[in-house]
A and B are shown apart, each in its own frame.
Chain A
Amino acid sequence: MRKRNLRPADIASDEGRPVTVIRPQDLIPLPPPYDKLEEMPAWDAFAGEQAGAFVRDLDGISALSLEAGKGEAEKQKDVEQFISGLRKLLSKENNWTFLEPLILSLDYCTGCQTCADACPVFVATGRNALYRPTYRSEVFRQLIQKYARPWGRIRAKLGGRDINLNWTTLSRLYELSYRCTLCRRCAQHCPMGIDNALLTRELRKAFSQELGWAPGELHEKGTVLHLQAGSPSGMKPRVARDNVQFIDEDFSELTGIAVANPWDAEGADVLLLHSAGEMLAHPEGLAAFAILCRAAGISWTLSSEKLGYDGVNYGLFYDDLQFAKIAVAHARIAKKLNVGKVVMGECGHQHKASISVSDRILTGDLNVRRESVMTFLEHIVFGGKIKFDPSKNDFPVTLHDPCNIVRNLGIVEPQRRILRYLCPQFREMTPHGIENYCCGGGGGLVLLSENSFAGWRAMAAGRLKLKQVLEAFGDCPGPETRKYVCAPCLNCKNQFRDIFKFYGVRERSNIHRGGLAELIVNAMADLREPFIQWEER
């Protein structure tokens, strides 16, 4: 069942039988007390009646709830449409956005497999061939070669790359495109600069932009809800304002400091663009920003316009058109408010989407100034307007580097300078900075939790990150010491929540996860009570 020597063509055969399964004994070992296989949390793909409802013959898991049991005619139509999508990926008109990186990554991989050891999923699953970064890319490459390029079928036969594109290939490949966190560690390690994460995203694009196949959590309950209601959380502007008002009141009472987030202040210096998920899952982060901005005397505002209070952009994970719509909408809101700049919230993919990837589509007056939260916070901390008492943060702290902020944008040091100043027991993970491991929830995977996929995320995708965290706290592993993982990204924080829950990390190791702003506020000299509460909300 577990094939170490998987070939691209294998993805097309044995319909209904998983190409591979994850066996607990193959996973990389964790430090004690997480090293006993028999104590490992029960995890299995869902069983019973549901089992036949969705396609799960890739690795026994259905992350995407793609319905099985389509008729032959419908399947054939899907296959033909996918081929049309592959051709569009290669056209300047339809895919100018990423044509150059796509062509380069398709045509110049030498197959040296240097990328394999860079992949946290491949390594954590005991080098499971299905999760090898080049496996997915090679299937994609062979399909493009055979079905979307001139003389493809003849060249495929001659080159021994004659992969068969049937509905089994299609459905498995769709699932496989969501087993990569798009962390781009593989691209960073590739001597040729080949980007398997980009190829994965292009694959997702072909499914989304041509077949209309995208995970419900990313599209219907993500982008569509974002564009229609204002936030993927479903929060409409009025509800968002009410929620923030409640957070303001709650934290004013808790801290004794008047917490008040201003709304729609035209001409403010800063438009703070949080993720609305923060309001629901991490309200302390939102409150921390309000406290810091007020204490530092910053002229800032939130926007209550639709989309203006939620900076996420799920299009980054799967669809250029959806991506562009949201990026443009965010820029228009900032323009309308006439703010000096937009500052990203603690959200990695928002950083990458807004600061970097959308840069070349925000032309003319849409090209508003956009800044990272890391430099913004660094400016506040070292600006001299707030007094700090680092002894208030005298507990072990480590830093998780969100891939989209650190590896993708090269924002490495500002957050470290803050932590080195404010956290006496700050320690780095190994590796860290641009060499960091993904939390396992990147690429939109953290949003997918149906059909036991949260288990896969924790067991396979996030395992190496957990190992890193445990090793960083190796000098104080027990529950008697409270420890803090600073994860300045909403998706990373949510992934840590799921990993910690899966392995019982809070109970067994007393490790908590939170943002950067909370740690800064916690160290404010004027604060009477500790800001960090340590309980899970």
Chain B
Amino acid sequence: MFGVWLVFFTWGAIAVFLLVLSCRVLAMARLPLHLRWELAPIPGEKAKGSQGGSFLEEYEWWTRPRKKSAIDPLIYMAWEIFLLRGVWKHNRSLWPLSLALHAGLYLSAGALCFQGLSLILSASDSGAALAGICLDIASPVAFCAFLFGTLGAAGLLLKRALDAELRCATRRGAYFNLLLLAAVFSSGLWARLASSDAARDVDGFLRALAGFQGECEIASPLVLHAALVSLFLICLPFTSMIHFAAKYFTYHHVLWNDRPLDGRMERKVSGLLSQPVEWMSGRARSGSRGSWAEIALEKAENEKTQP
């Protein structure tokens, strides 16, 4: 009976995670076109990006073809995502712990992939041997994930609690997130250590999950771990921890978006400029309300100074 609850709780958590994450990502993607607010370095600027240069360094830039690199931003982001380039460069004392936490997350995802692959391969007779190999790989990967993750999350928790400067700048939510992460990773570590063949235990649970079967036998440490992972999945999209998705928008939509006005943009902007403005100062101080375009084009003599 307990297994049924766990299976449904896990599926529920996955559904909440996907639904809320999708909604939030969609909400970010649907934000209106904004004014340019780029910031160097923009790695997509071919041959200039590494020094922070841009196409504006060219004499009469509009007469030259834009030289964009598709690969450089990917390399930049790979360094940023997997080795936390920014934290390494600018906040070295935080880097080891932060890297450990992120390594824990990435390795967990890696271990889960191997577990999933094993599940798929084992469906056919010919894949059974490979499925076993996948589980053999998943086991140490997961162990490393939980070890690094526990160290990272607990270390960051301690650092935030003990460092006076960091403490006063830390929100209650950040402690909760780290605590939850530490619980997830340490429970995983416990589940690994408590079992003689943890990868196969997880495999059993995943099979039960995939088949919506409640009658599986799961050891208590794994039950706790699975429950905490599910809880984490439910919380995750409501927190700033989805910066992994937001980061795409902060970089690609804002900091690296130096695309000059084109026809498509112009059509969008025309619509935005025709929207009414409700701000209470400026032109609206006199009681009249106009659109962005009307205000921008109004005669200077109408300028109001004080309310």
Interface residue from A96, A327, A363, A406 paired with B34 (Cβ < 8 Å)? A96
A189-B90, A193-B255, A375-B57 given; name 13 further pairs at CB < 8 Å.
Answer: A5-B168, A88-B279, A100-B254, A109-B240, A114-B90, A223-B303, A228-B301, A360-B36, A360-B265, A363-B270, A409-B56, A410-B38, A410-B54
CA A108 to CA B164, docked complex, whole Å: 23
A-B contacts, 8 of them at CB < 8 A, read A111-B169, A210-B279, A210-B281, A321-B292, A364-B266, A375-B56, A411-B54, A433-B52
**Taking the nearest CB of chain A, how far is it from the CB of B250, in angstroms?**
3
Nearest CB of chain B from residue A164's CB, rounded to whole Å? 17
**A108:B240 contact, CB within 8 angstroms:** yes
Chain A neighbourhood of B283, CB < 8 A: 321
Instruction: Report the nearest B residue to A382, measured CB to CB.
Output: B59
Closest A residue to B250 using CB positions = A193
Instruction: Report chain A residues within 8 Å CB of B67.
Output: none
User: In whole angstroms, what is the CA distance A375 to B167 when docked?
Assistant: 47
**Closest A-B pairs by Cβ, 10 of them:** A410-B54, A193-B250, A191-B86, A434-B52, A227-B300, A160-B172, A212-B281, A324-B296, A114-B91, A100-B31
Closest to A212 in B: B281
Chain B interface residue bracket vs A: 35 or more
- Judged by a CB distance under 8 angstroms, whether A54 is at the interface is no
> Would you give the shortest CB distance from B164 to chain A, in whole angstroms?
5
Q: How far is the CB of A306 from chain B (nearest CB, A)?
A: 7
Contact status of A306 and B300, CB under 8 A, knowing A114-B94, A129-B168: yes
Question: CB-CB < 8 A to B94: which residues of A?
Answer: 112, 114
Residues in A with CB closer than 8 Å to B195 are none
Pairwise interchain contact B28-A104, C-beta atoms closer than 8 A: yes
- The answer to whether B281 touches A209 (Cβ under 8 A) is yes
Are A363's CB and B56's CB within 8 A?
no
Q: Which of B37, B85, B166, B307 contacts A101 (CB 8 A)?
A: B37
A interface residues with partner B (beta carbon < 8 Å): 4-7, 81, 84-85, 88, 92-94, 96-101, 103-105, 107-114, 116-118, 127, 129, 132, 134-135, 138, 159-161, 184, 187-195, 198, 208-212, 219-220, 223-224, 227-228, 306-307, 319, 321-322, 324-325, 327-329, 341, 355-364, 367, 369, 371-372, 374-376, 378-379, 406-414, 433-434
Interface centre among A92, A135, A356 (most CB of B within 10 A): A356
B216-245 contact mask (Cβ, 8 Å, vs A): 1 or 0? 000000000000000000000000111100
**Known contacts A111-B174, A379-B59, A408-B38: A209-B168 contact under CB 8 Å:** no
A193 close to B269 (CB less than 8 A): no
A187-B57 contact given A92-B32, A328-B296, CB 8 Å threshold = no
Which residues of B are found within 8 Å of A118, using beta-carbon distances?
A: 90
B15 within 8 A of A: no
Contact between chains at B86 and A114 (CB < 8 Å) = yes
Q: How far is the CA of A93 from the CA of B291 in the complex (A)?
A: 9
Chain B, residues 239-281, CB within 8 Å of chain A (1/0): the string is 0111100110111011100101100011001101101111111
Tell me which of B40-48, B113-121, B200-208 binds A.
B40-48
Kindly provide the distance from the CB of A401 to the nearest chain B CB, expressed in whole angstroms: 10
- The closest CB in chain A to the CB of B166 belongs to A113
Most chain B CB within 10 A, of A114, A117, A434, is at: A114
Query: What residues of B have a CB within 8 angstroms of the CB of A101 in the complex?
Result: 34, 37, 250, 254
Residues A93 and B255 in contact, CB atoms below 8 Å apart:
no
Give min CB distance, A426 to chain B, whole Å. 17
When distances are taken between beta carbons in the complex, the residues of chain B under 8 Å from A188 are 39-40
Known A4-B164, A412-B40, A412-B53; contact A192-B247, beta-carbon cutoff 8 A: yes
B147 at the interface (CB under 8 A from A): no
User: Least Cβ distance of B51 to chain A in Å?
Assistant: 6
B90 A103 Cβ-Cβ under 8 A = no
- Is chain B's interface secondary structure helix, strand, loop, or mixed overall? helix
Q: A191-B86, A360-B265 are in contact. Are A96 and B32 (CB under 8 A)?
A: yes
CA gap between A179 and B269 in the complex, in Å:
33
The answer to whether A113 touches B37 (Cβ under 8 A) is no
Cα separation A211 to B307 with both chains bound (whole Å): 8
Q: Once the chains bind, are A410 and B91 in contact (CB under 8 Å)?
A: no
Taking the closest CB of chain A, its distance from the CB of B17, in whole angstroms, is 17
Q: In whole Å, how far is A358's beta carbon from the nearest beta carbon of chain B?
A: 8
Alpha-carbon distance between A306 and B80 when the two chains are bound, in angstroms: 48
Contacts of A189 in B (CB 8 A): 86, 89-90
CB distance from B217 to the nearest CB of A (A): 38
Q: Give chain A residues whose Cβ lies under 8 Å from the Cβ of B42.
A: 410
A483 to B285, CA, bound (A): 50
Q: What chain B residues lie within 8 Å of A117 (beta carbons)?
A: 90-91
Is B87 an interface position by the 8 A CB rule? yes
Asked if residues A108 and B243 are in contact (CB atoms below 8 Å), the reply is yes
Contact digits for B81-109, partner A, Cβ 8 Å, 1 yes 0 no: 00011110111001000100000000000
* B166-197 contact mask (Cβ, 8 Å, vs A): 1 or 0: 11111111100000000000000000000000
Given contacts A112-B87, A117-B90, contact A192 B164 (CB under 8 A): no
B279 CB contacts on chain A under 8 angstroms: 85, 88, 94, 209-210, 321
Complex CA gap A101/B256 in Å reads 12
Contact residue among B51, B249, B280, B295 (Cβ-Cβ distance under 8 Å from A104): B249
B19 at the interface (CB under 8 A from A): no
B270 cross-chain contacts in A, Cβ below 8 A? 363
**A93 lies within 8 A of B306 (CB):** no
* Contact pattern, B 58-94, Cβ under 8 Å of A = 1, otherwise 0: 1111100000000000000000100011110111001
Please report the C-alpha to C-alpha distance between residue A418 and residue B166 in the assembled complex, in whole angstroms: 44
B215 close to chain A: CB less than 8 A: no
The contact of B278 among A88, A356, A360, by CB within 8 Å, is A88
A99 to B28, CA, bound (A): 10
Given contacts A228-B303, A375-B57, contact A93 B277 (CB under 8 A): yes
Name B281's contact: one of A160, A208, A360 (CB within 8 Å). A208
How near does chain B come to A305, taking the closest CB pair, in angstroms? 12
A104 CA to B240 CA in the complex, in Å? 10
Q: Which residue among B28, B173, B254 has the maximum number of chain A CB atoms within 10 Å of its CB?
A: B254
The CA of A2 and the CA of B278, in the complex, are separated in Å by 41
Partner pick for A103 among B31, B56, B80, CB 8 A cutoff? B31
Q: Per a CB cutoff under 8 Å, which of A104, A187, A361, A414 touches B35? A: A361
